[in-house]
């Protein structure tokens, strides 16, 4: 016989892994072209030369 117990979404939330990158990565995105900076700001975008300021 199959187990037909259903789990409500609220019961399953505690076991779901959280995904995505933290919001703090936003400071490393070039405001002009959107390239992700390799180094922590302040830096200069290697693609377009735009300064990427500290967040």
- Of 9-13, 20-24, 27-31, the poorest mean pLDDT is in 9-13
- Torsion sign, CA atoms 13, 15, 16, 18: positive
The pLDDT of residue 13 is above 80? no
Q: Is 9 helix (H, G, I), strand (E, B) or coil?
A: helix
Report which of residues 46 and 6 the model is more confident about. Answer: 46
> Could you tell me the maximum CA-CA distance found in the chain, to the nearest angstrom?
65
Beta bridge partners of 52: 43
Q: Report if pTM > 0.85.
A: no
Contact 48, 30 (CB under 8 A): yes
pLDDT of residue 2: 63
């Amino acid at each position: 016989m199959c187990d037909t117990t259903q789990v409500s979404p609220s019961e399953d939330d505690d076991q779901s892994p959280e995904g995505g990158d933290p919001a703090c990565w936003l400071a490393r995105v070039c405001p002009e072209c959107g390239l992700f900076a390799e180094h922590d700001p302040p830096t200069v975008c290697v693609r377009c030369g735009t300064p990427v300021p500290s967040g």
